[in-house]
Structure 1
Amino acid sequence: MKEILAQANGHNGPIAFGIKVDNDKMTNIEVKQHSETPAIFKQVFGKLKESILEEQSFEVDVVSGATVMSKAILESGKQAVNQAGVSLPTPKPKAKKVYKGHVDVAVIGGGEAGLVAACRALSLGKRVALVEKNGYLGGATILNGSNVTATGSKVAQKIFGDNNDSPDLLASDVARECLDTNTVEMTQLMAQNIGDAIDFISNFADLHYQKAQTQTPEHSVQRQVELPSSSSYELITKVADAFVKKGGKIFLDSRVEEMLYDEDKKPIGFIAQGHNKKVIVYADAIVLASGGYGANEKMRGQENQGINYYGPMTSTGDAFDFLKELDLKTQNLDWYKVYPHGVQTEPGRAKLTTYASKKATDMGAIYVNKLGQRIVNESDVYAKLRNAVLEQPEKIAYLVLDEKMWQEFYQLLVLHDFNEEEIAKYFALADKQPPLFVKGTLSEVATKAGINPQALVATVTRYNEFAKAGQDSEFGRSKEMLHVYEGDVFYLVEQRDRFATTLGGFSARTDLRLQTKDGHKIANLYGAGEVVAGANGHDSMPSMMNTWGISSGYIAGTNAAKLS
């Protein structure tokens, strides 16, 4: 038995792995190091590993939605075993597989909304199949946390007790925060059903929600919950595993290319294509949960120009093409959810720092601009922080941290989508490429960031005086959020606004059936998740996209099952 080491160039850095070989047979492949998005990498590497060991070859299909990463791993592995003199068998050509069948309910899209819809229909005794164009599950959800509201649920009652929350209060908060741009009946639908939806999926997939570590001020009461890992990967994997174990069928690497209709233009199924396979599904009811269109630059409006995208590059709005024949009604396709708390990792691309940034401001950190001036009450709602950053030159602000703040900030970066090597690289290359992460005295970090040192020193000095006095005379930050900076070592982290979520989409009625432009309901076509517009208006509060995904999936799955 020997181990051959290989290293691929991943999207975020090197991917090191070991290939264990015994008598020219590969017995295992183990990851040593990587900097990729964990929730995607775990699924992609796992699928590649399974194929490689089964075929005893690195000449296997790439994983859809992660082509670059897949090719890098396969090519580096092949090169490593060849250089080690290992003789592997030549893989046999594969015939294209064709899957064809009829189910009661078919779901298009394997993100949060699609999985919940599929589970709900399955729980009601229906035969259910789900197709996902990527070779892994999760959609846009896989890049987010598991933070969601639990209003009206037994889960919330157990966690928060009687805290005076209600569906009406949740709906009121949504309307207030989006400035009444929401579709009222869709918001009510979401608020009235999220409690039942959370209880359902918790029981179905054995999920154990707990109080979320972040309770954001947009919500008028504490109602946000999350899974123990805080990760949506836990949600996706547990829900998918439960669905399959209870009889559901999942087709990965299956992109819907064509809808099938009867003579009255009623959808009766679809054809999906993948690597060496074709999937033909006929269904009594179809749930569309194919996600948003943030990665489709042709569909982007003027509103989000110059703002970094941090969502999956596979969010391309495919449904707007394969359902074109139905001439479906849409609304607000130029609306996007723009968040603060991002760092630019490459031109036009960002990673979120929400958990870390929120923790830092809870500890008293401030935001400054290129002039070294504070720009906002750092503890206010996200929308005000976002807008303050958008008003700055180049739409950039800087988070100022002392050593104590940095340690907490750093730990949460590593916990959520960053790794130690990646962060070290940011510091090493801060003067050459974004994002900007710098350390030193206050004057030194200002100089490295191109900020006037005297102005930044004056700003921090003034803020410290506010903190000592317990009163922020500049922005009115609450006393409990005012903390004096300590020590002589400071960190400056660039912060940019970013978006992943699209808020426009298809129009639906309260049964979530999609409708044509002339108002005709499609009898058996339901929408769920990001592909359906209206519930959160022009500006969703924190946790509300997950709330919409889970509640709409639950409703669509229920109604599709009733129809079939």
Structure 2
Amino acid sequence: MQYLLKKTVLLVALCSVGSAYAANQTINADIAVIGSGWAGIMSAYDSASHGKKVVILEKMAFPGGASMLCGGQYAIQGSDLQKAKGVPYDPPQSLVQDLIANGHLKNDLTTLKLLAENSPRVANWVISTFHPTFIDQKLQYRAEFRFDRSLYLKGYCSGFYPKVQSAVEKAGAKLLLNTRAEELIVKNGRVTGVKAKRGGDTVTVHAKAVLLATGGYGANKAMLVEPLKSALYYGPQSSTGDGHRMAVKVGAQLENMEYGKRYPNGIESAPGTATSIIQGNYRAWKEAGFLVNKDGKRVVNEKASNHNILTVLEKQPGGLLYLVMDEPTWNKFVEGIKTQGVTDENLKKWLAANGSSAPIFAHGATLEEAAAHAGINAANLKATLARYNELVRAGKDEDFGRPKAFMLREAKTEGPYYIVEQKPRFATTMGSVIVDDHLRVLNKAKKPIRGLYAAGEVINAVHGDDSSPGMNISWCTTSGKLSSEFMRADMK
């Protein structure tokens, strides 16, 4: 996608100065961070700014990992900013209860406790240190939470990342690109470094502590099980489970490896590949968009949790839903998906196909015409639109419970109309290396593997079997900062 490509070029430029590497290099450091995604970069900054010599190993030609595709939703539970925006009380217990409910009792309780107790402090630290700006200054409603907690970073993660990256460089951390960590160095039962490859050369980093911030394994089909294996993937190709593999090799345990975060709002932009349209959907709910199945009937509250919508979606004919929009809603939808990298060229191509091929972007001068191109029952769809408008006039969705704040106007009764497919997509995996309450990786005897720590998606069992909105950024930020604090404390 063009937006992300521009960000990638910028990041490569930021990191290319002085990056001539020597062959078969040996480096001595205090801390070796494997992976330059959100968790790794936060940890590296905190450690380097406290005087530690930090080396970051990144296997790709550019930094960022999954951050380059992250939508930028940040749940700022308990922070000063959340309070300033009208939620004065959102205690750790409420976050724990929400995440356990959404994670279906499969959450790792050790890391969940760390997240709940520390995310407010870390959010305050991020905001005061890096001064992020947000798209919409109002906290957004999410069905997964009892309190409003979510804000979207302006430019999403990929737009905010260069600011953090610049701070990391100024703090003195060394970033090695195209350098793939392959093996942990163990001496007398302690991890003392990393062996990596850069082309045909070997890079050896000796360190007092090693942090696994390697992300997930969504791009590694061999590590996936159904339904993840057949779901549309939209994550980074760098998510191949390297950290999980290296940890297991030195005796670590894994948990929740069968789970991943699936969303109900993707389009099949290429065979087997998804593009998120969540920002378009969000704008559609604030207008007059609604979801139907192939029979042309509403079957779900459009503002329910992602998990609930996905559960309903998978039971529908063809295993998908359709977003129905009048022209004003469509215009807002387009604004949203363009922020996620969809281009005018993409839209022109998809609209020209008019439902004849994936992704379905059907349209017509009348509702019946649009329905015909999408393969939806037109008579039922016409009745559904009329019923939706009736509920808007009544001020209450008696059929599915969509919040009144997202039923502000009736759908127009004259065309044109647009209908867009809704398919399951995923990028984030829940499978984790098991850690203790200092983020030290544990062996099969549940004892810490000395010198080895983990942060971010590689320990994503904190969420259970399904992550909540904005909590991936919250967890990567919190665990990244905490890992730095724990490693530095253990060096004293």
What's the offset of the Cα at 1:102? 0.9
What do residues 292-324 of structure 1 show as CA deviations (whole Å, max 9, x unaligned)? 001111111123243211111221101233334
Which residue does the alignment assign to 2:51? 125
Match for 2:3 among 38, 48, 52? 38
Which residue does the alignment assign to 2:274? 350
Aligned equivalents of 2:131, 2:311: Cα separation in 1: 39
What's the offset of the Cα at 1:560? 1.0
| Residues 162, 478 of structure 1: alpha-carbon distance in 2 compared, 3 angstrom cutoff | closer
Aligned equivalents of 1:243, 1:352: Cα separation in 2: 30
What's the offset of the Cα at 1:473? 3.5
Do residues 375 (structure 1) and 299 (structure 2) align? yes
Aligned equivalents of 2:474, 2:95: Cα separation in 1: 11
Match for 2:64 among 138, 141, 153? 138
Q: Compute the RMSD of aligned alpha carbons.
A: 2.3
Which residue does the alignment assign to 1:437? 361
Aligned equivalents of 1:135, 1:410: Cα separation in 2: 31
Aligned equivalents of 1:131, 1:95: Cα separation in 2: 13
1:413-452 mapped onto 2 (5 Å cutoff):
413-440=337-364, 441-452=366-377
Match for 1:151 among 53, 72, 77? 77
| Residues 447, 290 of structure 1: alpha-carbon distance in 2 compared, 3 angstrom cutoff | same
What's the offset of the Cα at 1:431? 4.0
2:23 is matched by which residue type in structure 1? K
Which residue does the alignment assign to 1:504? 431
| Residues 39, 394 of structure 1: alpha-carbon distance in 2 compared, 3 angstrom cutoff | same
Which residue does the alignment assign to 1:521? 448
2:243 is matched by which residue type in structure 1? A
Do residues 407 (structure 1) and 372 (structure 2) align? no
| Residues 325, 228 of structure 1: alpha-carbon distance in 2 compared, 3 angstrom cutoff | closer
Do residues 533 (structure 1) and 457 (structure 2) align? no
Aligned equivalents of 2:137, 2:106: Cα separation in 1: 29
1:40, 1:136 within 8 Å by CA — same for their partners in 2?
no
Match for 1:333 among 243, 249, 257? 257
Aligned equivalents of 1:519, 1:533: Cα separation in 2: 18
Aligned equivalents of 1:310, 1:536: Cα separation in 2: 20
Q: Which moved more, 1:415-424 or 1:144-153?
A: 144-153
1:95, 1:276 within 8 Å by CA — same for their partners in 2?
no
Q: Matched residue of 1:304: which SS?
A: coil
Q: Which moved more, 1:348-357 or 1:421-430?
A: 421-430
2:103, 2:463 within 8 Å by CA — same for their partners in 1?
yes
Match for 1:245 among 150, 153, 170? 170
1:105, 1:561 within 8 Å by CA — same for their partners in 2?
no
Match for 2:231 among 303, 307, 328? 307
Do residues 558 (structure 1) and 482 (structure 2) align? no
1:365 is matched by which residue type in structure 2? G
2:76, 2:120 within 8 Å by CA — same for their partners in 1?
yes
| Residues 114, 46 of structure 1: alpha-carbon distance in 2 compared, 3 angstrom cutoff | closer
Aligned equivalents of 1:395, 1:350: Cα separation in 2: 15
Q: Matched residue of 1:364: which SS?
A: coil
1:245-264 mapped onto 2 (5 Å cutoff):
245-262=170-187, 264=188
Do residues 104 (structure 1) and 33 (structure 2) align? no
Match for 1:174 among 83, 86, 99? 99
Q: Which moved more, 1:530-539 or 1:542-551?
A: 530-539
What's the offset of the Cα at 1:189? 0.7
Aligned equivalents of 2:196, 2:128: Cα separation in 1: 31
Which residue does the alignment assign to 2:208? 284
1:248 is matched by which residue type in structure 2? A
Task: Report % sequence identity.
Answer: 31
Larger radius of gyration: 1
Q: Matched residue of 1:498: which SS?
A: strand
How many residues align? The count is 486
What's the offset of the Cα at 1:340? 1.6
2:142, 2:303 within 8 Å by CA — same for their partners in 1?
no
Compute the TM-score of the two structures, normalised by the length of structure 2. 0.93
Aligned equivalents of 2:47, 2:235: Cα separation in 1: 28
What do residues 354-382 of structure 1 show as CA deviations (whole Å, max 9, x unaligned)? 11102212323111111111110112222
What's the offset of the Cα at 1:46? 6.7
What do residues 301-355 of structure 1 show as CA deviations (whole Å, max 9, x unaligned)? 1232432111112211012333342121100100111112111112221011111
| Residues 212, 355 of structure 1: alpha-carbon distance in 2 compared, 3 angstrom cutoff | farther
Compute the TM-score of the two structures, normalised by the length of structure 1. 0.81
Do residues 366 (structure 1) and 290 (structure 2) align? yes
1:285, 1:563 within 8 Å by CA — same for their partners in 2?
no
Q: Matched residue of 2:462: which SS?
A: coil
Following TM superposition, the consecutive aligned residue runs of length 4 or more in structure 1 with deviations greater than 6 angstroms are 48-51
Q: Matched residue of 1:323: which SS?
A: helix
What's the offset of the Cα at 1:453? 1.6
Aligned equivalents of 1:49, 1:521: Cα separation in 2: 37
Aligned equivalents of 2:446, 2:396: Cα separation in 1: 55
Q: Matched residue of 1:343: which SS?
A: strand
Aligned equivalents of 2:164, 2:126: Cα separation in 1: 8
2:208, 2:451 within 8 Å by CA — same for their partners in 1?
yes
| Residues 393, 162 of structure 1: alpha-carbon distance in 2 compared, 3 angstrom cutoff | closer
Which residue does the alignment assign to 2:311? 387
| Residues 316, 466 of structure 1: alpha-carbon distance in 2 compared, 3 angstrom cutoff | same
1:497 is matched by which residue type in structure 2? P
1:442, 1:489 within 8 Å by CA — same for their partners in 2?
yes
Q: Matched residue of 1:448: which SS?
A: helix
What's the offset of the Cα at 1:545? 0.9
2:300, 2:309 within 8 Å by CA — same for their partners in 1?
yes
| Residues 405, 183 of structure 1: alpha-carbon distance in 2 compared, 3 angstrom cutoff | same
What's the offset of the Cα at 1:195? 1.8
Q: Matched residue of 2:463: which SS?
A: coil
What's the offset of the Cα at 1:215? 3.1
| Residues 181, 37 of structure 1: alpha-carbon distance in 2 compared, 3 angstrom cutoff | farther
Aligned equivalents of 1:346, 1:205: Cα separation in 2: 36
1:378 is matched by which residue type in structure 2? E
2:7, 2:159 within 8 Å by CA — same for their partners in 1?
no
Q: Matched residue of 2:105: which SS?
A: coil
Do residues 396 (structure 1) and 314 (structure 2) align? no
Q: Matched residue of 1:130: which SS?
A: strand
Q: Matched residue of 1:534: which SS?
A: helix
What do residues 126-151 of structure 1 show as CA deviations (whole Å, max 9, x unaligned)? 11111111111111121112221222
Match for 2:116 among 191, 205, 211? 191
